[in-house]
Amino acid sequence: MAPGPVVDRTAQNVERVSQDLRSVYSSGKTKSVEWRVSQLKSLLRITTHYEKDILEALRSDLNKPELEAFSHEVYGVSSSCELALKELHRWMMPEKVKTSMINFPSTGEIVSEPLGVVLVISTWNYPFKLSLDPVIGAIAAGNAVVLKPSEVAPATSSLMSNLLGEYMDPSAVKVVEGGVPETTALLEQKWDKIFYTGNSKIGRIILTAAAKHLTPVVLELGGKCPVVVDSNIDLKVAARRIISGKWACNSGQTCVSPDYIVTTKEYALKLVDALSCELENFYGKDPLLSNDLSSIINSRHFDRLTKLLDDEKVSGKVVIGGQRDRDKLKIAPTVLLDVSQDSLVMNEEIFGPLLPIVTVAKIEESIGLINTKEKPLAAYMFTNDKKLKEEFIRSVSAGGMCINEIALHLAEHTLPFGGVGESGMGAYHGKFSFDAFSHKKPVLQRGFNGDVAARYPPYTPWKLKFLKAMLSGNILSILRALIGW
């Protein structure tokens, strides 16, 4: 970390950024439809015109294959922009509500207004998408926004800083690059909302900082996402989808990637065979040579993952993979079978290409096992058993769920994406992003006619009777009160 004066300058810079944004927001500029549309169009232009640069930056930061980078990140952002542009007018429209008899005559509506100046703190595994998706929501809702991309993905951070600086309105959309000192300085400021994607340890720091200013937050955290694999299913398809959601998503470095599998003792070997066969189809005999597998982000995480593999409690449990190359920061897709609950790999979010399988005697026991752990961001089940599926949905609490699929619920903008418990709070995607950055302000309009004397003092028993009748909404009671019955 740099010495004192640089830290002070950071704090001053950040304070100035916050103040500048606040005065621009107060001018009302970001509230207009025209401004929001122009900014969304600029973001879309960046995503389409600079696709090649974005893919290169992602390859540089994460060794991310082009198909992953395109479909998860570039397409993800451009489709969010297009959706927001298409739906913005409808999202911005006030929602009319019915008002009750006690307020008669009146009209009610709920108006969406921006929160003000918001802070988006992003992460390194999907550095483009997880930075810009929340920014799209913030802009669509009419806020001024500061984006703090992750310093762990420097090429993407720098690219976004340059492109947003060039194409967006710099008075209302700012990128502050940097690491811990910059983030700390940002958290000292007062924001109208903080949107954070990352881990639960930092999530707590963010929430504590937000508490000083009573700032509401969205925390998109992680967790150990379980996959329950029942028998009597199309095992080949299930294996392919598990692989796709695990290793074809940034080598398992994804908040919604399968973290561990639960299946019956009888079925486990069949599953291992299916995974082994499809892994070879996807990545070849030596996966470390495949160009379609992302690397581990840095040596710190590489060492963290190899420590999990070298834990003596899992020795002898590796049934697929286990190869590693520290120079290239690559670990082969690795499956472990029958790991014990007290091993390291079962007690922290793996966030990498290791997939333990835990076995149970009966598949129904998987639900109890999952519920002994913290609530994950996602939970998955492969089954054709309707009763088991319903029990799973009813009994397991998770941010979101897929049945017979992995992670695809993120792609549906009509579904809210967010965590619960340790996996976070709040949600976004699609209109939920707009709502996350809006204040839904109720507006009640009354006229002066029909003023009810019963509401004013001096209070009498008759007035009480009448008011109770009005609150009940029961016409008969109201009539009886009126005639003094």
Partner 1 sequence: MEEGFEGLSQSLSGLKRTFRSGKTRGVEWRKAQLRALLKFLAENEAQIFEALKQDLGKHPIGVVKKSADHALLHIQKWMAPKRANYHYFCFHQELKYCQNHWALYLYLDPGISPSHQHARLCLNAQSLFIWTSAVKVIEGGSDVAEQLLQQRWDKIFFTGSPRVGRIIMSAAAKHLTPVTLELGGKCPVILDSFSGSDFKVAVKRIAGGKWGPCAGQACIGIDYVLVQQNLAPVLVESLKSCIKKFYGENVKTLQSICRIVNKHHFDRIRNLLEEPGVAASIVYGGSMDQDNLMIEPTILLDPPLDAQIMTEEIFGPLLPIVTLDKIEESIDFINERPKPLAIYAFTKNKKLKDQILQETSSGSVTFNDAIIQFICDTLPFGGIGQSGFGRYHGKYSFDTFSHEKAVLHRTFFPEFEPRYPPWNDFKLDFIRLAYNLDYVGLLLLLLGLRRIFTPNRSR
Site for partner 1 in 181-200 (CB under 8 A): 192, 200
Minimum CB–partner distance for residue 75 and partner 1 (Å): 5
- Give yes or no for residue 402 binding partner 1 (CB under 8 A): yes
Burial 172-191 (b: 16+ CB within 10 A, else e): bbbbbebeebbbbbbbebeb
Measured distance CA(46)–CA(175) in Å, rounded = 15
Interface with partner 1 (CB under 8 A), residue total 104
CB 227 within 8 A of CB 380: yes
- Give yes or no for residue 231 binding partner 1 (CB under 8 A): no
3-state SS assignment for residue 122 = coil
- Give yes or no for residue 211 binding partner 1 (CB under 8 A): yes
Stretch that binds partner 1, among 174-182, 269-277, 335-343, 471-479 (CB under 8 A): 471-479
Closer to partner 1 by CB, 304 or 463: give it.
463
Among 13, 276, 290, 477, binds partner 1 (CB under 8 A): 290
Measured distance CA(278)–CA(350) in Å, rounded = 22
- Give yes or no for residue 456 binding partner 1 (CB under 8 A): yes
How buried is 327 (Cβ within 10 angstroms: 0-12 exposed, 13-18 middle, 19+ buried)?
A: exposed
Minimum CB–partner distance for residue 125 and partner 1 (Å): 18
255 is catalytic: yes
Task: Fill in the per-residue mask, 77 to 116: x = in contact with partner 1 (CB under 8 A), - = not in contact.
Answer: --x-----------------xxxx-xx--x-x-xx-x-xx
Q: Which structure tokens are listed for 308? A: 């999990």
Stretch that binds partner 1, among 4-12, 37-45, 158-166, 440-448 (CB under 8 A): 440-448
Among 16, 49, 326, 328, binds partner 1 (CB under 8 A): 49
Tokens 């996959």: give the residue: 227
Among 166, 371, 462, 476, binds partner 1 (CB under 8 A): 371
Among 86, 286, 395, 462, binds partner 1 (CB under 8 A): 395
Which of these is catalytic: 81, 225, 249, 255?
A: 255
CA distances from 329 to 246, 258, 306, 353, 397 (A): 17, 21, 11, 12, 35
Residue 356, beta-bridge partner list: 336
Minimum CB–partner distance for residue 103 and partner 1 (Å): 6
Closer to partner 1 by CB, 49 or 300: give it.
49
Measured distance CA(143)–CA(282) in Å, rounded = 44
Q: In what order do the strands lie in the sheet with 144-148?
A: 173-175, 144-148, 117-121, 193-197, 217-220, 424-425
Site for partner 1 in 61-80 (CB under 8 A): 65-67, 70-71, 75, 79
3-state SS assignment for residue 94 = coil
User: Which residues are known catalytic residues?
Assistant: 220, 255
